[in-house]
Amino acid sequence: MCVVLAADAGERTMEKVTRLAEAKGIPVLRGPVATELGAGLGRPPVQAVGVADAALARGLMVDG
């Protein structure tokens, strides 16, 4: 439904994820830094995360 990119994601990651998402018509949102994004998922730092849940994605896009 959407992709959340960490605010401090590497340039190559940003370019690759954005290009692939745009090709499929998937919105890309900027999120918190990788450590915060990962912590919110109970994981180590994460540069990008795909959101498959439609309701969650809608909420992120409204708030984002």
Q: What is the pLDDT of residue 58?
A: 87
In whole angstroms, give the CA distance from residue 57 to residue 29.
Answer: 10
Mean pLDDT of 14-34: 95
Residue 8: burial class (beta carbons within 10 Å; 0-12, 13-18, 19+): middle
Question: Residue 63 has what pLDDT?
Answer: 61
CA distances to 29, 50, 54, 55 from 14, rounded to whole Å, are: 11, 13, 23, 24
pTM here? Answer: 0.85
Set out the domains of the chain in order of their start, with CATH numbers: 2-63 (3.30.1330.30)
